Amino acid sequence: MTQQEIIAKINEFLVEEFEVDAEKIVPTANLRETLELDSLDYVDLVVIIESNFGFKVVAEDFINIHTFQDFYDYVNRKVAEKTTA
């Protein structure tokens, strides 16, 4: 899966599952504020990532994810690790 494919997939499920307007998803935007995430929503984000990319997010990993770009990079890195493992 290429980086562009990963980004497209993430954006697709954020629009579909989290019902955010597609135009609000820009790499520099704040993930939590844009998606209006509360503590319960993070649990659902873990589920969606697991079902789409096959790896489990550890809650602490979210501490360093601020923007959409951070989120794309994180998923991309985890997918790459999974592929090389």
Partner 1 sequence: MHNRVVITGLGIWSCLGKNLDEVKDSLYNGKSGIGMDMERKEWGYRSGLTGMVERPELKGILDRRARVGLSEEAEYAYMATLEAMKNAKMDMSWVENNEVGILYGNDSSAKAVSEAIDTIRIKKDTTLLGSGSIFQSMNCTVTMNLSTIFKLKGINFTISAACASGSHAIGLGYLMIKWGLQKHIICGGAQEVNPFAFGSFDGLSAFSIRENDPAKASRPFDKDRDGLIPSGGAATVIIESYESAIERGAPILAEIVGYGFSSNGAHISNSSVDGQIRSLNMALNDAGISADVVDYINAHATSTPGGDFAEAQAIDAVFGTSKPMVSSTKSMTGHECWMAGASEIVYSTLMMQNNFIAPNINFENPDEASAKLNIVSKTTEKNIDVFLSNSFGFGGTNSSLIIKKIK
Q: Which stretch binds partner 1 (CB under 8 A): 4-12, 23-31, 45-53, 62-70?
A: 45-53
Residue among 9, 11, 17, 73 that touches partner 1 (CB under 8 A): 17
Taking Cα atoms as reference points, which of 84, 41, 83 lies closest to residue 62? Answer: 41
User: Would you say 17 or 69 has its CB closer to partner 1?
Assistant: 17
Asked if 22 touches partner 1 (CB under 8 A), the answer is no
Q: Which range touches partner 1 (CB under 8 A), out of 3-11, 39-47, 61-69, 73-81? A: 39-47
**What is d(CA 33, CA 56) in angstroms, rounded to the nearest whole number?**
23
Which positions ≥6 away from 82 have C-beta within 8 Å?
A: 53, 54, 55
Which residues touch 70 (CB under 8 Å, ≥6 apart)? 31, 64
Size of the site for partner 1 (CB under 8 A): 12
